[in-house]
Amino acid sequence: MADLPREIRGVLIPVSNGRVLLPNATVAEVITYATPERIADAPDWLLGRLAWRGWRLPLFSYSMLTQASQTEGYSNAKVAVLKALGGQARMPFLALLTQGFPRLVTVTQDLLIPSGDARERRTGVLAEVLVRDDHAQIPDLEAIEGLVARALAA
């Protein structure tokens, strides 16, 4: 069996009322926020669709999805284009609304400390962690992709 990497490159992404931690390889690009095309009858957290490299990406608010915030700010907003994990040909990417630029971090097992109560996880949250002095959430991207796909199919 191959040895697991001792460290991975991650990104701390600022979102309303917090940060999310993802592997750097998950982020395809960070782009300037543009007003998305609305999606009829979509949940509040699904903000619309954005054009990117020939794709119309579903843009979601992680903070609204996880109920950490009821609204979003757009004055410093950026969009992180994420590589989808579900293997759906019609949705190979998702767009995450951010509140600024992601910050690169090196993550090791020693620097990643679980925090919060695992029994009180909200929808879309895989884990709550402390990375050095930064509190962050690890999003459940597979669950989020499923929620987005169901919302788009409705």
Class of domain 7-153: mainly beta
Q: What mean pLDDT value characterizes the chain?
A: 91
pLDDT reading at 23 higher than 60: yes
CB atoms within 10 A of CB 5: 9
- The residue with greater pLDDT, 43 or 122, is 43
Which band of pLDDT confidence, cut at 50, 70 and 90, is reported for residue 40? Answer: very high
Element (H, E) at 143: helix 141-153
CA distance 93 to 106: 24
CA distance 105 to 88: 29
Query: What percent of the chain is modeled with pLDDT above 90?
Result: 69
- The residue with greater pLDDT, 110 or 60, is 60
Which band of pLDDT confidence, cut at 50, 70 and 90, is reported for residue 144? Answer: very high
User: What pLDDT does residue 115 have?
Assistant: 86
DSSP state of 39: -
- The residue with greater pLDDT, 143 or 91, is 143
The three-state secondary structure class of 8 is strand
Which band of pLDDT confidence, cut at 50, 70 and 90, is reported for residue 113? Answer: confident
pLDDT tens digits for 61-92? 999 999 888 888 888 999 999 999 877 778 89
User: What pLDDT does residue 154 have?
Assistant: 75
